[in-house]
Amino acid sequence: MHVPVFKGEGVIEFEDRPVPAIKGSTDILVRVKLCGLCGTDLNILSVPPAHKATLNIILGHEATGTVEKTGEEVKELKEGDKVVIAPRITCSQCNYCVKGIENQCENYRTMGTTIDGALAPYAVAPEKNLFRISDRVSDDDSVFFEPLSCVVGSTVRAPLEAGGSVAVIGAGPIGLLFAQTYRALGAGKVIVCDNSDHRRAFAKNADVGTVLNANMDDLPEAVKEITGLGADLVVDAVGNQMATAIELARRAGQIILFGLRPHEETSISQYTITRNDLTVVGSFVGLNPFEKTIEFLEKGIVKPSEFISHRVGLLDLPEALTYMHSGEAVKVVVET
């Protein structure tokens, strides 16, 4: 395989690697068809890095493909099955796994950040990290399984009453997935805010709801005008927008903090959270949201493929990363 390999601060190099071998008895070799790029990949490759990754690994953690070969103790999946990958491999033994809070596993490994990922023609994953998905779901939709699962996991933490209003800060792929998912779950008014002209134009075209310029003079007032009292639920899909989220939420509303910006500190009005009875929920990758995410995709409840802005081959990865850096890309998918 001629694949892009992570070589340290900001560096990707192509190397020839053998097709990975099945090592564990429950491992499966997957023929990868499509792999999505996301903000985490950019964070890994930024200088200094904003996300840790192991040197010399193949990146890529959002993939769909078919089962090529199975280890001897694989039970459910068989050759030819269409699958999607849940890239975080948890230990089942630490204090959090034992409590059933597996998304907080203390010994997790993640394909594409700590071990080899799926920006390659072939990848190996344990059976428990692969989910069968109907052939009727297109590759373009199923490649969104991983980011969608994180969003679906968040909606479980912050349910919305039917007809409720949602304001999403950040119109990248995650923000758009939140807008589409809450709409599918019965939201009334959905508002998406972003400061990039390009992302706002894309969001308008995708018809996810009312699109507002996050840099406008009085964003809270604009949200109030649309929702009446302020948004019932606000999502920060960026990672440093809590102060704005507090201003956009109505009294007794909910806020989901989803984006990850490990090196940024934000100053917020704790008084407003208390005075306005706000519920603030941090949500990290979701707790076992996988079956529900498959159901959303198989029933066509969400159609994330409309958020693909660029489609490239593996060799074009360095160029694709520049589109993402410049903010002109929404979702980039890589044909492997």
Least spacing, CB of residue 101 vs Zn ion, in Å? 9
Is the dihedral angle over the CA atoms 79, 80, 83, 88 positive or is it negative? positive
Contact 275, 210 (CB under 8 A): no
115: nearest Cα among 99, 126, 101, 106? 126
């989910």: which residue's tokens?
A: 131
- Smallest gap from Cβ 171 to Zn ion, in A, equals 16
For residue 130, state whether it binds Zn ion (rule: CB under 5 A). no
The piece of 104-112, 183-191, 227-235, 262-270 that touches Zn ion (CB under 5 A) is 104-112
Among 29, 40, 116, 170, binds Zn ion (CB under 5 A): 40
In the complex with Zn ion, the residue whose CB is nearer, 91 or 160, is 91
CB of 110 to Zn ion, least distance (A): 10
| Phi, psi for 161 (deg, rounded to 5) | -70, 150
Taking CB under 5 A as the binding criterion, the range among 1-9, 32-40, 225-233, 284-292 that sits at the site for Zn ion is 32-40
- Min dist CB 37 to Zn ion, Å, is 8
Residue 38 interacting with Zn ion (CB under 5 A): yes
Question: CA 137 → CA 79, 85, 132, 301, distances in Å?
Answer: 18, 15, 11, 11
Q: Give min distance, CB of 332 to Zn ion, in A.
A: 11
Rg of the Cα atoms in the chain: 20
105 binding Zn ion? (CB under 5 A): yes
Closer to Zn ion by CB, 120 or 219: give it: 120
Q: What whole-number distance in Å separates Cα of residue 331 and Cα of residue 84?
A: 17
Footprint of Zn ion on 292-321 (CB under 5 A): none
In the bound complex, what is the minimum distance in angstroms from residue 269's beta carbon to Zn ion? 31
Total residues at the site for Zn ion (CB under 5 A)? 7
Contacts of 227 (CB under 8 A, 6+ apart): 165, 167, 189, 191, 250
Pairing mode, strands 308-313 and 331-335: parallel
Smallest gap from Cβ 173 to Zn ion, in A, equals 8
Q: Is 184 in the site for Zn ion (CB under 5 A)?
A: no
Site for Zn ion in 84-103 (CB under 5 A): 90-91, 94, 97
Of 40 and 283, nearer to Zn ion (C-beta) is: 40
Residue 254 near Zn ion by CB under 5 A: no
Angle at 258 between CA 285 and CA 159, to 5 degrees: 85
Amino acid code (one letter) for 200: R
Return residues touching Zn ion (CB under 5 A). Answer: 38, 40, 90-91, 94, 97, 105
